[in-house]
Amino acid sequence: MARERYENLDGVPMSNSFGQLMKWRQERRKKVKDFSFAVAACPNKEVAYLGANRTVTTVTWIGHSTFLIQHGGLNIITDPVWAGSMALTKRLAPPGLTLDELPAIDVILLSHSHYDHMHVASLRAIERKHHPLLLVPKGLKVKMVRKGFANVQELAWWEQTAVKGVEIHFVPTQHWTKRTLLDTNTSQWGGYIIRTSADDPRTVYFAGDSGYFRGFKMIGERYNIHTALIPIGAYEPEWFMKAQHVNPEQAVQAFLDVGAEQFIPMHYGAFRLADDTPKEALDRLKAEWDKQGLAKERLHILLHGETLGMEQGNV
């Protein structure tokens, strides 16, 4: 029986053929890049506070697309990856929190099954200690159950579930997925909205991994978003990456499209997945932010392990 294959909105394909991949590899050999800049570790991690907090909404950047999000009394981890290397290259900077420093985890959110977002060893370490609910895109539950995860629920685009009064909505991205030679696009990909109600003033949007697409405006029309976690890295060469990864300028436009109040960049600084460097991504982000005339206090460039708290009436 043929397995279901998923598509992007408007059927947008990915530029990831073998020939294009080889062209990129040849092009990469001619580039000289400076990866000496590293995202710093937060010197004042709030481990004890995070362990006790069940009231204030917080976002803590652990690295890449891994965040600890505390909202509505839940402790949520996104795309947990504590791997020391990716694709034979060492991690550029260590995770901002160790696995032992995590508070009791209630929910894990997986955006899609690419290795830099779905690291099975990290998932198993969290599952053994905390036994959380694992929320995954449609088509991925069977794989995760086979890997030994018992408490798994899958969502399709625009579907939602509720955990202890917190709504978690699965929303589209423009991407793709693959882990083996035979499973290309056999599960969906997406981002998540985390809120307690439609008028929740601290709604968090985790954008997953995406190219720029009209779906950002659709999400902004459906949800009242306070804080948006949006990727800015792995965009070069743009002729190869543009369908699947936003560049920093497009990330700012996505932020404007979803109508969020606050922006936290992600998907940079941990792994060398493409030819852009973390400093290049941040420099372009800051330049576009200034070009758009956006208030500096709305942009939060976190250190690894840094926590942004969002109490009522504050950021």
Joined together, the tokens standing for residue 48 give 């004890």
Q: What is the pLDDT at residue 2?
A: 66
Query: All domains of the chain, ordered by start, with CATH?
Result: 48-310 (3.60.15.10)
Average pLDDT of the segment spanning 88-111: 97
Question: Are 134 and 105 a contacting pair, CB within 8 Å?
Answer: no
Average pLDDT of the segment spanning 75-97: 96
Q: What is the pLDDT at residue 232?
A: 98
Share of the chain above pLDDT 90, in %: 91
| 3-class DSSP string for 210-254 | CCCCCHHHHHHHHCCCCEEEEECCCCCCHHHHCCCCCCHHHHHHH
Amino acid (1-letter code) at residue 253: Q
Could you tell me which residue, 186 or 30, shows the higher pLDDT?
A: 186
* Tens of pLDDT, residues 102-146: 999 999 999 999 999 999 999 999 999 999 999 999 999 999 999
Strand partners, 172: 190
Q: What is the pLDDT at residue 65?
A: 98
* Tens of pLDDT, residues 239-291: 999 999 999 999 999 999 999 999 999 999 999 999 999 999 999 999 999 99
Query: At residue 305, does pLDDT exceed 90?
Result: yes
Strand pairing class (74-78; 204-206):
unpaired
Joined together, the tokens standing for residue 284 give 């372009």
Amino acid (1-letter code) at residue 196: T
Least confident window among 4-13, 25-34, 247-256: 25-34
* Tens of pLDDT, residues 57-66: 999 999 999 9
Q: What is the pLDDT at residue 25?
A: 86
Average pLDDT of the segment spanning 14-26: 85
Q: What is the pLDDT at residue 69?
A: 98
Neighbours of 257 (CB within 10 A): 20
Q: What is the pLDDT at residue 1?
A: 57
Task: Report pTM.
Answer: 0.97
Query: Which of 152, 151, 156 minimizes the C-alpha distance to 172?
Result: 156
Could you tell me which residue, 99 or 2, shows the higher pLDDT?
A: 99
Counting other chains too, the contacts that 67-70 makes at CB distance below 8 Å and 24 or more residues apart are 67/206, 67/229, 67/266, 68/97, 68/102, 68/103, 69/194, 69/204, 69/206, 70/103
Q: Determine whether 125 is exposed, middle or buried from the number of CB atoms within 10 Å of its CB (0-12, 13-18, 19+).
A: middle
Q: How confident is the model at residue 3 (pLDDT cuts 50, 70, 90)?
A: confident
Q: What is the pLDDT at residue 313?
A: 42
Average pLDDT of the segment spanning 146-165: 97
Query: At residue 213, does pLDDT exceed 50?
Result: yes
Average pLDDT of the segment spanning 213-236: 98
Order of strands across the sheet that contains 262-266: 160-163, 166-172, 190-195, 204-206, 227-231, 262-266
Ramachandran sector of residue 25 (left: φ over 0; alpha: ψ -120 to 50; beta: rest): alpha
Q: What is the pLDDT at residue 174?
A: 98
